[in-house]
């Protein structure tokens, strides 16, 4: 890397784009230009701050002339690789990297990298929690929390980077060589971005690309696609499985094992659901390979309470439970949610369409405890069509999110759940799944306040007790 002699165009003033620009400016690159075609308050504020640090902003009508003068494009994950800007760089034979790639090049501590369709954030959080419980200096980063470049100064000499890596990041990530690479599962997702499952699977497999015989590949042996990666990597393969004994972590007679050693009972896990059990097994593998002792692993798993917006119990209003699963942005995640939630539910489905079929979702709902579905957002009509085709007729179509939440609450009976598990991205109405989950929580509070107001005894204006006694 020769930053002082190179000029960079950072495209996309999102979390990772901002971190990349700050990092490059701190490394004294020859020039760092900033670009985003969104006219958004947050984008404007971030751009103004970075301009003050020395990064000139580029207008839309000037970006391609600027690109012609730049050496490297730093592409935010939210901008697809077939956008005209990276296409222009690729045609010119110039480098295209992401923030994660910049971080990987500068990383000087061993890394545990986790990818997969579902469970990445939970597993990374779990691994970080276990390693810290075991006395390790672990920092979670990547697609969770802080970007890698923003964490470089936080790593102790004996630190460990625990990084969540998305398929979007893998498009521009070439240098990462994790000591432990974890691949959790592969299900249909992001086909609006990657077009085919073949492309999506290939991107996920890239996490293993740089691994040698000195590294480890932790693979889900219950997933046939992930299992097939064992034949394509030079890394030492360690498996995990819910279905039976394997050379790694597994469940036998209701207990979690690492190889032949019993660690704890499945019933000791605070998080319910088979998907959480699988995440725990993956975490066991990764942490054992990073030197965590068994007692620390068992203790940490017993105390791990999960992450925000993933089957998060928010509370109840008039006996109706609210559960925030906004992170379920694909069909597989939503199916796993309804399988895990106890009791009957009214489910909220909808948002930004990601290009996959919704019929399997409604087929699963017919066999679940879901008594009604409220459909909202950009893809509400596509969801409705799929519901009808699967003969799931207990639906209400209600496109605005706020109104949909209220309708779901009025539909639910006491003892039932209002479950936000949208099986869709959030970007039709929100900046992130986090913002969507936060709005859901706010609406629950508003409903609770409204109900409490209705339950208060009415005050008779103008008459006190003495007046009434006259």
Distance CA 98, CA 170 (A): 9
Do 141 and 282 have their domain in common?
yes
**CATH number of the domain enclosing 86:** 3.40.50.720
The Cα-based distances of 281 to 153, 169, 270, 305 in angstroms read 30, 25, 14, 16
179 is known as an active-site residue: no
Side-chain-side CA neighbours of 99 within 13 Å: the count stands at: 32
Residue 46: Cβ within 10 Å count: 20
Do 54 and 125 have their domain in common?
no
The dihedral built from the CA positions of residue 144, 357, 380 and 451, taken in this order, carries a sign that is negative
Do 328 and 437 have their domain in common?
yes
Do 298 and 342 have their domain in common?
no
- Sort 281 into a burial class: Cβ within 10 Å, 0-12 / 13-18 / 19+: buried
Do 209 and 348 have their domain in common?
no
Identify whether 140 is part of a domain. yes
Domain ends where: 256, 281, 303?
303
DSSP designation for 459:
P
CA angle (298, 299, 301) in 5-degree steps: 65
Distance CA 351, CA 64 (A): 32
Do 142 and 206 have their domain in common?
yes
DSSP designation for 274:
H
Identify whether 461 is part of a domain. no
CB within 8 Å of 325: residues ≥ 6 apart: 309, 310, 311, 312, 333, 334, 337, 419, 420, 421, 422
Place of tokens 């394509």: 232
Q: How many domains does the chain have?
A: 3
Parent domain of 155: 101-303
Which residue of the set 120, 204, 336, 354 is catalytic? 120
Residue 374 CA, distance from chain mean position: 23
Identify whether 439 is part of a domain. yes
Say if CB 66 and CB 50 are below 8 A apart: no
pLDDT at 191: 74
Tokens matching residue 201: 């699977």
pLDDT at 40: 83
Do 240 and 277 have their domain in common?
yes
397-421: pLDDT as tens digits:
998 999 999 999 999 999 999 999 9
Distance CA 132, CA 453 (A): 45
Do 324 and 431 have their domain in common?
yes
The Cα-based distances of 212 to 72, 158, 184, 206, 232 in angstroms read 28, 22, 20, 13, 11
**CATH number of the domain enclosing 243:** 3.40.1190.10
Distance CA 158, CA 298 (A): 23
Torsion of CA 432, 130, 241, 199, to 10 degrees: 40
Tokens matching residue 14: 């999102």
379 is known as an active-site residue: no
CA angle (63, 26, 98) in 5-degree steps: 50
Identify whether 216 is part of a domain. yes
Which residue of the set 136, 179, 190, 275 is catalytic? 190
Identify whether 323 is part of a domain. yes
DSSP designation for 456:
S
Element (H, E) at 303: helix 294-303
Q: pLDDT truncated to tens, each residue of the chain (470 aa)?
A: 668 889 999 999 999 999 999 999 999 889 999 999 888 888 999 999 999 999 999 999 999 999 999 999 999 998 999 999 999 999 999 999 999 999 999 999 999 999 999 999 999 999 999 999 999 999 999 998 899 999 999 998 899 999 999 999 999 999 999 999 999 999 878 878 887 999 999 999 999 999 999 999 999 999 999 999 999 999 999 999 999 899 999 999 999 999 999 999 999 999 988 999 999 999 999 999 999 999 999 999 999 999 999 999 999 999 999 999 999 999 999 999 999 999 999 999 999 998 889 999 999 999 999 999 999 999 999 999 999 999 999 999 998 999 999 999 999 999 999 999 999 999 999 989 999 999 999 999 999 999 998 877 655 444 444 443 33
Do 70 and 122 have their domain in common?
no
413-447: pLDDT as tens digits:
999 999 999 999 999 999 899 999 999 999 999 99
Do 362 and 321 have their domain in common?
yes
The Cα-based distances of 32 to 47, 49, 63, 67, 281 in angstroms read 12, 13, 13, 11, 43
Angle between helices 331-340 and 274-289 in degrees, nearest 10: 110
Domain ends where: 39, 62, 97?
97
Do 427 and 443 have their domain in common?
yes
Query: Which pTM was predicted?
Result: 0.88
Which residue of the set 118, 143, 185, 276 is catalytic? 143
143 is known as an active-site residue: yes
Domain ends where: 70, 97, 124?
97
CB within 8 Å of 261: residues ≥ 6 apart: 294
Q: Following DSSP, what letter does each residue of 34-74 receive, concatenated?
A: EE-----HHHHHHHHHHHHTT--B--GGGHHHHHHH-SEEE
Query: Which of 138, 76, 431, 462 shows the shortest CA–CA distance to 290?
Result: 138
Do 210 and 115 have their domain in common?
yes
**CATH number of the domain enclosing 426:** 3.90.190.20
């Amino acid at each position: 890397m020769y930053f002082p002699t190179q000029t960079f165009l950072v495209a996309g003033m999102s979390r990772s784009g901002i971190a990349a620009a700050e990092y490059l400016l701190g490394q004294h690159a020859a020039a760092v230009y900033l670009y985003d075609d969104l006219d958004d308050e947050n984008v404007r504020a971030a751009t103004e701050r970075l301009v003050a640090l020395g990064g000139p902003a580029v207008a839309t009508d000037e970006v391609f002339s600027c690109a012609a003068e730049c050496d490297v494009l730093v592409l935010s994950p939210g901008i697809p690789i077939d956008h005209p800007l990276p296409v222009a760089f690729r045609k010119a034979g110039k480098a295209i990297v992401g923030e994660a790639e910049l971080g990987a090049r500068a990383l000087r501590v061993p890394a545990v990298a986790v990818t997969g369709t579902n469970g990445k954030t939970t597993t990374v959080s779990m691994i970080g929690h276990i390693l810290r419980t075991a006395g390790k200096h672990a920092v979670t980063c990547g697609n969770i929390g802080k970007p890698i470049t923003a964490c470089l100064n936080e790593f102790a000499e004996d630190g460990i980077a625990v990084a969540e890596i998305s398929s979007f990041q893998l498009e521009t990530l070439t240098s990462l060589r994790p000591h432990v690479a974890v691949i959790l599962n592969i299900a249909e997702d992001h086909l609006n971005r990657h077009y085919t499952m073949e492309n999506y699977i290939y991107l996920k497999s890239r996490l293993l690309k740089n691994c040698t015989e000195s590294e480890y590949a932790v693979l889900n042996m219950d997933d046939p696609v992930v299992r097939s990666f064992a034949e394509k990597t030079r890394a030492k393969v360690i498996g995990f499985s819910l279905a039976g004994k394997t050379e790694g972590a597994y469940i036998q007679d209701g207990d979690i094992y690492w190889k032949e050693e019993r660690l704890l009972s499945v019933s000791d896990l605070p998080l319910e659901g088979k998907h959480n059990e699988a995440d725990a097994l993956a975490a066991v593998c990764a942490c054992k390979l990073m030197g965590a002792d068994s007692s620390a692993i068992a203790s940490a798993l017993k105390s791990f309470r999960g992450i925000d917006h993933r089957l998060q119990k928010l509370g109840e209003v008039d006996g109706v439970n609210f559960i925030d699963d906004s992170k379920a942005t694909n069909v597989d995640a939503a199916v796993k949610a309804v399988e895990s939630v106890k009791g009957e539910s009214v489910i909220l489905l909808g948002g930004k369409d990601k290009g996959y079929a919704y019929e399997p979702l409604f087929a699963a709902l017919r066999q679940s405890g879901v008594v009604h579905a409220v459909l909202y957002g950009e893809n509400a009509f596509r969801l409705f069509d799929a519901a009808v085709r699967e003969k799931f007729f207990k639906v209400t179509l209600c496109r605005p999110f706020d109104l949909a939440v209220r309708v779901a609450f009025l539909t639910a009976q006491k003892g039932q759940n209002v479950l936000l598990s949208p099986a869709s991205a959030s970007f039709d109405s929100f900046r992130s799944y986090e913002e969507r989950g936060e709005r859901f929580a706010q609406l629950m509070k508003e409903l609770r306040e409204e109900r409490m107001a209705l339950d208060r005894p009415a005050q008779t204006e103008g008459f006190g007790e003495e007046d009434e006694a006259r």
